[in-house]
Amino acid sequence: MTDTHCPYCALQCAMTLTATPGERLPVEVAGRDFPTNRGGLCKKGWTSAELLGRADRITSPLVKQADGTFVEAGWAEVLDRIAAAVTRLKAESGPDAIGVFGGGGLTNEKAYQLGKFARIALGTRLIDYNGRFCMSSAAAAANRAFGLDRGLPFPLSDLDTADAVLVLGSNIGDTMPPFVQHLQGARGRGGLIVVDPRRSTTARLTEDGAGMHVQPVPGTDLALLLGIAHVVVAEELYDRDYLDERTVGFEAVRRSVSSWWPARAESVTGVPAETIRAVAHRLAGSSSAYILTGRGVEQHVDGTDTATAAINLALLLGLVGRPGSGYGTLTGQGNGQGGREHGQKSDQLPGYRKIIDPAARAHVARVWGVDPAIIPGPGLPAVQLLERCGAADGVRMLLVHGANVVVSAPDVSQVRAALGRLDLLVVSDFFLSETAQLADIVLPVLQWAEEDGTMTNLEGRVIRRRRAVDPPPGARSELWIMRELAERLGAPGTWSLDPSEVFDELARASAGGIADYSGLSHALLDTGVEAHWPYPAGSTGTPRLFRERFGHDDGRARLVAVRARQPETPRGAELSLITGRLLAHYQSGTQTRRVAELNDLHPRIVAQLHPLTARDRGVAEGSRIRLSNSRGALEADVELTDGIRPDTVFLPFHYSGAESANLLTSAATDPHSSMPEFKNAVVTVEAIRAGAE
């Protein structure tokens, strides 16, 4: 029996794997008691072992031929070819001719080593990762408000006793089902408030007196938050002592919300003024209240400002750092938190250090055994990195680790075209994902149950991933791949294959940084210790941040005045498109679409429309419709529901090819975080096949 954690979301539910020799699957999955999931798992977790026995697993390096087919090749051959291409392209065009795209599912060890590999072995500044599509706006808002970014700055179990929980833009009931048990206290007290244009699984938890479902016009969450804050300020519901003692910036925020009286907020958001007042009073009148944000309010060009407005509201009410109350954001990917802390982001070094900080560069260089001068400066965030692929004087070679960008990136038609212009695309994966299908070389890597390492969940809790089964003979760890390439390229420093040794180096590199792991090791984590970062040497970790001070030098939080913008809005017969997840699928679907039990629940893309909207377009249940805008078009079947706004259409984003929702989404980005605007697109909808009457 092996204790480990689920391969999917950032809840990182604990599970036990038991070997089953001779059976169809190599292990049996059981839920394990743990503070986040308390023994529960969702459908994805229960079926996760299916991925280990798949016949379409990549078990040998693949090289694309002139006719577009792949042939198997030996490791030495492909690694020699990759190293030769790196050397040639650097000589011809400089190190920034090579780019690296990482993933939020990589272990801390692999994420750390990938950042080091890009900057030291390749010499490129151009590395970023798919967490830029997920957490960047929330991170930017938290950093400027608190001086520190950790998804939940408190243990998830703290929510159990809440009187009120405001959830903005997250469908927890489908994305993290075991999370819902932590909302039962608020539900029982009638204090669960869910903001979502759809009556999602999470929104339905508010029914029967359990709380409120608030349905704003898509893209108007910032105006809604300004309206709630207006009520808090105008009616003096704020915590004056807390603001005076622990924050700066109140007057600027007071002025900025003064023009957002409830009636005006209603005119923009469609949320009744009395509802706006009720939310403000419910939060202010609760002895234990939390505000949680998710991608629905963050994946906009004003996502950082929207997350900031949520933080402002939490600070006005004195929630942050107060026992029994708080603010947090719900990290999505399995290691979305750890993945952004230790070097995959274009502007960061390990420990959440800024790459432009001379002291940070000197510290990390000492750990790496190199001259700080050879560490490149900041690179480009994900959207811009992908745009540079194949461009004149741009990226000529891209290495992709743990990401499926031709499904998950915005405006994917342009991404596909850009990847097609590369001299060389190298993808490391365990299945032939849609991005791997475009690659020139595919490298087979390990799955979750075949490797040791650590992950950092949405609470900032560092946990152990443990090897339970042997990998196929031809698959290799990314740590091995990076060492082999580093040796071929003559890179300085050490490149260990042992995840525990890599973690020890990560711990030294993070020492003194914001995300300090220096007091941790695999050996300590194996004792079962609860380990929330920062965890400096000699400490016992920090499960609850901000109790005494915030991360800024003066210890105070920043209230930051923000302004609402006019979102792209439908005209005439157009609709607002929103995208999101389904219970049975995860991210780009590379894994879950290969599990029959999951895929059978949602085998193809289905659009949700309001019956009134459908009637106006001659659409019925089961109709086939075409959604289109200037970026692209796709076809989908129709599900009618009165749980969605009539001005809105919903698509899940797990599907590929002609069914990719990101054919329609915009690559416009937030100016602070470079987060793409996944959650605000305008489309036309027309029937192309009649459904049932």
Tokens of 595: 């599990």
CA-CA distance, 601 to 48, in Å (whole number)? 16
| Residues contacting residue 108 through CB under 8 Å, at least 6 positions apart | 335, 338, 339, 341, 342, 453, 454, 455, 456, 462, 503, 506, 517
Low-confidence ranges of the chain (pLDDT < 70): 690-693
| E strand segments, 502-631 | 557-558, 575-580, 606-609, 624-629
517 and 391 share one domain: yes
Same domain? For 38 and 77 the reply is no
Q: What angle do CA 260, 263, 269 make, to 5 degrees?
A: 75
pLDDT given at position 573: 87
Residues 682 and 584 in one domain: yes
Domain boundary among 525, 545, 560: 525
366 contact partners, CB below 8 Å, separation of at least 6: none
- 459 and 599 in a single domain? The answer is no
The domain total for the chain is 4
For every residue of 496-522, which 3-state class applies, written as one string? CCCHHHHHHHHHHHHCCCCCCCCCCCH
Question: What CATH number has the domain bearing residue 30?
Answer: 2.20.25.90
Model confidence pLDDT, tens digit, residues 353-386 = 999 999 999 999 999 999 999 999 999 999 999 9
Per-residue CA distances from 415 to 51, 96, 386, 657 (Å): 27, 19, 7, 12
Residue 187: strand, helix, or coil: helix
Q: Domain ends where: 525, 545, 563? A: 525
Note whether residue 562 is domain-resident. no
On whether both 370 and 294 belong to a single domain, the answer is no
Is 204 found in the same domain as 145?
Answer: yes
Tally of residues, the chain: 693
Render pLDDT for 587-612 as a digit per residue (tens, 0 to 9).
888 999 999 999 999 999 999 999 99
Provide the pLDDT for residue 585. 93
Q: Are residues 153 and 81 in the same domain?
A: no
pLDDT at 690: 64
For residues 124 and 140, state if they share a domain: no
Contact 35, 157 (CB under 8 A): yes
Cα separation, 686 vs 548, in Å, equals 56
For residue 206, the enclosing domain spans: 136-329
* 501 and 383 co-located in one domain: yes
Query: Residue 332 has what pLDDT?
Result: 81
pTM of the model: 0.96
* Shared-domain flag, residues 83 and 11: no
167: helix, coil or strand?
Answer: strand
pLDDT given at position 691: 57
